[in-house]
Structure 1
Amino acid sequence: MKQHLQHPIFNIISKAAGKTGVHAYVIGGFVRDLFLQRPSKDIDIVVVGNGIAFAEQVAAQLKVPVSIFKNFGTAMLRYHDLEIEFVGARKESYRSDSRKPIVENGTLEDDQKRRDFTINALAIALHPENYGQLVDPFGGVADLEAKLIRTPLDPVETFSDDPLRIMRAIRFATQLNFQIDDTAIQAIKANTHRIKIVSQERITDELNKIILSPKPSIGFELLFDTGLLKVIFPQMVDLYGVEIIKGKGHKDNFYHTLQVLDHICETTPDLWLRWAAILHDIAKPATKRFEEGHGWTFHGHEDKGARMVPKIFAQLKLPLNEKMKQVQKLVQLHLRPIVLAQEIVTDSAVRRLLFEAGEDIEGLMLLCKADITTKNEYKIKKYRNNFELVQQKLKQVEERDQLRNWQPPVTGTDIMELFGINEGREVGIIKQQIREAILEGDIPNEREAAINYTIAKGEQIGLKVVANRKLE
């Protein structure tokens, strides 16, 4: 493995190890990614002995500062674009009510046993006497070749000790497109209840990594099949299944959602657009109705879904900020471009869509394109052609009317000054009329035209322009 340790940092660590007689190993994800030929900037060094003291010696040699975390027995330093963490070899034991281990000093073998998966237990020696030697006691290289996620020890014990490893197993399977070993799958199913001892923040962090994978449906199907999704995100499980009445069924909204999610991942790496894809139909179970002579309907699912977004974000400890509002807006509006694509596209309808979507209009169009999951080639072609027309109209209207993130050309303060009135009902009425006139195309989105319109509308309701009052 010597030829794989190209970066000069490994020679520096090796010299320090030889000088001090310390046996140090690069271990974990960096070694795994070497075999997978994936770039990695995080290096974990395990030391048989005092990891902090060894880190200080390496930092002194490199002339860089070192951060020490005594409570965790670790030290970290940065060297160029690398982040290097040092820790003493340890063995761990667990209590049933906590995923925080009781830690003792240990051997390299002890340290490899405590690792979550065989592919993350690989180590390469850095001491000069055995530099570059691979230490692979659990067949991690063979599992990499077989594309298999396995635990070094009994998976029931591994997942029970630290249930976050369940999420990590599914996350690695999704990111790497690996299979999870059958015995590990059974152990996950037996331990889904244990996930409740893990903080929601850690669970959601792993869930987001699954969502950011090239094909997140792999992870969501594993979460669903093992029963874990029911525990961590029950609203999504409610989408599953098809009900049939009088020979009429609806599509399975769970698998439809996974298709939409995979589709949008082909066009954007944005986490929040991916969350919008996950939540776009989240209210369909709550709005599902069977109508005689028509079939299944989901009227208002976009409105109810938008109202559900804040509660789901709070439940999953996702940020309750502008990102949440963005997802909420996309859920609320996700049917609008589809409706436009089915009808004659009027300038007025496009203006309203631009007004409501604002800066999220491109994301909304990506979501709507991803939402086309029909297998009917004629329908796919028709929708795509119509979407192109909608997008052309959006561009034309935006260039002409500048309605994205629209600010009214005449404000409430302007109206009060113009007519010498205080804030009240009349101001609100006129503001609404100006907005509607611009959106309908009755007047251009320009200040002079809006002022003239304001004067006319004010006079209609008995208001008079204040003498000698002129608005710039």
Structure 2
Amino acid sequence: MRLLTDADLAQLLDKEIFHKISDAADSLGVECYVVGGYVRDLFLERPSNDIDVVVVGSGIEVADALRKSLGRKAHISVFRNFGTAQVKYKDIEVEFVGARKESYSHDSRKPVVEDGTLEDDQNRRDFTINALAVCLNKHRFGELVDPFGGIDDMYDGIIRTPLDPDITFSDDPLRMLRCIRFATQLNFFIDDDTFAALERNAERIRIISGERIQEELNKIMMTPTPSKGFVDLQRSGLLQIIIPELNVLDIVEKRNGRAHKNNFYHTLEVLDNVCRTSDNLWLRWGALMHDIGKPRSKRWDNSAGWTFHNHNFIGAKMVPDIFRRLKLPMDAKMKYVQKMVDLHMRPIVIADEEVTDSAVRRLLNDAGDDIDDLMKLCEADITSKNQVRKKCFLENFRMVREKITDLKEKDYKRLLQPCIDGNEIMEMFNLKPSREVGDLKQALKDAVLDNKVPNEREPLMRLLMEKAKKMGLKCGNS
């Protein structure tokens, strides 16, 4: 963070767009301020092209005056119901709103809005670091207005609400997620009183739509260390409402002196590990979801201790419900996350045993183009504190990767497609698309994958006839 004087701010705002806004506001005789995130990010030295402007008067009129002064390259969108307007010019977007004060009903986050002063407008802001305003009028250009000590909070790395946090969060519960998201993005801490209000008001999050929740979760996920946000979500009680399947991982059971690891904190460690190697949002979701099947699969075995057999398969089945509830996409992105969850144990099993061609071929066949992402997830999943064991696993994964590369070079896709396809099988045995056709295709594929027969027509045809005979099928050409 850098400390800026009013003169410094005036110099940083010495750009065409801000002088044009200043002229538009002065021509209409109204006060005008750049507010919120743009001002915050000047102090934090973060890039920002989205500019929010508050006008003590009509924001729409100032926006229209700005659009006229910028000429034909500027475009304006007016939202009269909300008293806002947006001007787009080159790669810049400026959002205008009239200063206002708000009041809320208990069952909605949509406020009743009235015209207000700059003070009213700053009072309604979510956090002190977002309640900063810099005047754009010519005679006060660059003057900072910071009524809640937002600069001090930024310097101290604190997220705090301007007014009573219980009122702030109860009025608009989405601010609870924004609170945690900002703390995660900026690597700040949440003020103690503010965090206590998160705990008291957690149930209010139920009135927020899945779309708004997932938008904030995705922003947390795309930070360098999303575990920080998920720990705050869990500690505040929000996680058990939003993703209870993840919250229940936070348990350690002990029996006969044998305990399993805390799978919640393990999951967060895996997530952070993935973030160091990939900026793929959906791989990060795969990391977050990879062990959600463990509570449902957990069993005690007197000889083996705690087991979690098939937790990958159970977890993959749980993914669609979570995505649907959070209004996350139900398309190929969800299926990709399912695949990551379902397959994340496979490379570990391969690496733990002899790394055979047939096992790696099957893995390649099932993972397809996502094999590299799957390997990143599996390597991230090695969180053992036993350095010898960890080194052994990573060395085995290195061998798996080498085998993958070797098989790719042999054009595995071509090799793994049996030269007798489903259409020919249906024609030979007078079958329609059915389970029998699928079983015959799979038998050929398994034989090729396991290197039992070469992918050549004659040996595959012999195998096909043997399998069909056992199934009671007769070739229509015989």
TM-score by length of 2: 0.93
Q: For the residues of structure 2 that align with 1:172 and 1:375, how far apart are their CA atoms? A: 31
Q: 2:150 corresponds to which letter in structure 1?
A: G
Q: 1:73 is matched with which residue?
A: 83
Relative to structure 1, is the Cα distance of residues 384 and 202 closer, same or farther in structure 2, using a 3 angstrom cutoff?
Answer: same
Alpha-carbon distance, 1:402 to partner:
2.3
Q: 1:317 is matched with which residue?
A: 327
1:440 paired with 2:450, answer yes
> What secondary structure, in the 3-state scheme, does the structure 2 residue paired with 1:415 have?
helix
> What secondary structure, in the 3-state scheme, does the structure 2 residue paired with 1:47 have?
strand
- Alignment partner for residue 22 of structure 1, among 30, 47, 59? 30
Q: CA offsets per residue over residues 38-71 of structure 1, 9 Å max, x none?
A: 0011100111111011101101111212011111
Q: For the residues of structure 1 that align with 2:75 and 2:252, how far apart are their CA atoms? A: 60
Q: 2:462 is matched with which residue?
A: 456
Q: 1:47 corresponds to which letter in structure 2?
A: V
Relative to structure 1, is the Cα distance of residues 80 and 369 closer, same or farther in structure 2, using a 3 angstrom cutoff?
Answer: same
Relative to structure 1, is the Cα distance of residues 111 and 290 closer, same or farther in structure 2, using a 3 angstrom cutoff?
Answer: same
1:227 paired with 2:237, answer yes
- The answer as to whether partners of 1:458 and 1:464 remain within 8 angstroms in 2 is no
Q: For the residues of structure 1 that align with 2:385 and 2:258, how far apart are their CA atoms? A: 18
Relative to structure 1, is the Cα distance of residues 21 and 290 closer, same or farther in structure 2, using a 3 angstrom cutoff?
Answer: same
> What secondary structure, in the 3-state scheme, does the structure 1 residue paired with 2:410 have?
helix
Q: For the residues of structure 2 that align with 1:21 and 1:46, how far apart are their CA atoms? A: 14
How do 1:315-394 and structure 2 match up within 5 A?
315-394=325-404
Q: For the residues of structure 2 that align with 1:315 and 1:140, how far apart are their CA atoms? A: 36
Q: CA offsets per residue over residues 230-266 of structure 1, 9 Å max, x none?
A: 1211111110111111111000011111111111111
Q: 1:214 is matched with which residue?
A: 224
Q: For the residues of structure 1 that align with 2:139 and 2:415, how far apart are their CA atoms? A: 65
Comparing 229-238 with 426-435, greater Cα deviation is found at: 426-435
- Alignment partner for residue 299 of structure 1, among 288, 306, 309? 309
Q: For the residues of structure 1 that align with 2:14 and 2:388, how far apart are their CA atoms? A: 54
Q: 1:246 is matched with which residue?
A: 256
Relative to structure 1, is the Cα distance of residues 437 and 100 closer, same or farther in structure 2, using a 3 angstrom cutoff?
Answer: same
Q: For the residues of structure 2 that align with 1:406 and 1:26, how far apart are their CA atoms? A: 61
How do 1:24-423 and structure 2 match up within 5 A?
24-63=32-71, 64-403=74-413, 407-417=417-427, 419=428, 421-423=430-432
Q: For the residues of structure 1 that align with 2:38 and 2:198, how far apart are their CA atoms? A: 26
Q: For the residues of structure 2 that align with 1:435 and 1:251, how far apart are their CA atoms? A: 39
Q: CA offsets per residue over residues 328-352 of structure 1, 9 Å max, x none?
A: 1111111110111111100000000
- The answer as to whether partners of 1:41 and 1:82 remain within 8 angstroms in 2 is yes
Q: For the residues of structure 2 that align with 1:151 and 1:407, how far apart are their CA atoms? A: 60
Relative to structure 1, is the Cα distance of residues 304 and 427 closer, same or farther in structure 2, using a 3 angstrom cutoff?
Answer: closer
Q: 2:458 corresponds to which letter in structure 1?
A: N
> What secondary structure, in the 3-state scheme, does the structure 2 residue paired with 1:373 have?
coil
Q: 2:218 corresponds to which letter in structure 1?
A: N
Alpha-carbon distance, 1:433 to partner:
2.5
Comparing 133-142 with 401-410, greater Cα deviation is found at: 401-410
Relative to structure 1, is the Cα distance of residues 428 and 160 closer, same or farther in structure 2, using a 3 angstrom cutoff?
Answer: closer
Q: 2:299 corresponds to which letter in structure 1?
A: R
Relative to structure 1, is the Cα distance of residues 267 and 405 closer, same or farther in structure 2, using a 3 angstrom cutoff?
Answer: farther
Relative to structure 1, is the Cα distance of residues 455 and 295 closer, same or farther in structure 2, using a 3 angstrom cutoff?
Answer: closer
Q: 2:36 corresponds to which letter in structure 1?
A: G
> What secondary structure, in the 3-state scheme, does the structure 2 residue paired with 1:65 have?
strand
Q: For the residues of structure 2 that align with 1:405 and 1:362, how far apart are their CA atoms? A: 20
Aligned length: 462
Relative to structure 1, is the Cα distance of residues 303 and 459 closer, same or farther in structure 2, using a 3 angstrom cutoff?
Answer: closer
Q: 1:388 corresponds to which letter in structure 2?
A: R
Q: For the residues of structure 1 that align with 2:191 and 2:240, how far apart are their CA atoms? A: 22
- The answer as to whether partners of 2:416 and 2:445 remain within 8 angstroms in 1 is no
- The answer as to whether partners of 1:30 and 1:40 remain within 8 angstroms in 2 is yes
Q: 2:287 corresponds to which letter in structure 1?
A: A
Comparing 369-378 with 404-413, greater Cα deviation is found at: 404-413
Alpha-carbon distance, 1:197 to partner:
1.6
Q: 2:10 is matched with which residue?
A: 2
Q: For the residues of structure 2 that align with 1:215 and 1:274, how far apart are their CA atoms? A: 11
Q: 1:470 is matched with which residue?
A: none
Q: CA offsets per residue over residues 391-426 of structure 1, 9 Å max, x none?
A: 010111122142399655332112344x37343676
Q: For the residues of structure 1 that align with 2:414 and 2:463, how far apart are their CA atoms? A: 25
TM-score by length of 1: 0.94
Q: For the residues of structure 2 that align with 1:464 and 1:92, how far apart are their CA atoms? A: 78
- The answer as to whether partners of 1:16 and 1:57 remain within 8 angstroms in 2 is yes
**Moved segments of 4+, more than 6 Å:** none
Alpha-carbon distance, 1:16 to partner:
1.7
Q: For the residues of structure 1 that align with 2:186 and 2:429, how far apart are their CA atoms? A: 68
> What secondary structure, in the 3-state scheme, does the structure 1 residue paired with 2:153 have?
helix
- The answer as to whether partners of 1:358 and 1:405 remain within 8 angstroms in 2 is no
- The answer as to whether partners of 2:258 and 2:305 remain within 8 angstroms in 1 is yes
Q: 2:338 corresponds to which letter in structure 1?
A: Q
Unaligned runs of 5+ in 1: 468-472
Q: For the residues of structure 2 that align with 1:325 and 1:380, how far apart are their CA atoms? A: 30
Indicate the percent of aligned positions where both proteins have the same amino acid. Answer: 54
Relative to structure 1, is the Cα distance of residues 454 and 429 closer, same or farther in structure 2, using a 3 angstrom cutoff?
Answer: farther
Relative to structure 1, is the Cα distance of residues 174 and 405 closer, same or farther in structure 2, using a 3 angstrom cutoff?
Answer: farther
Q: CA offsets per residue over residues 59-101 of structure 1, 9 Å max, x none?
A: 1111212011111111112111111111111111111111111
Alpha-carbon distance, 1:112 to partner:
0.6
Q: CA offsets per residue over residues 116-141 of structure 1, 9 Å max, x none?
A: 00100101111101011111111111
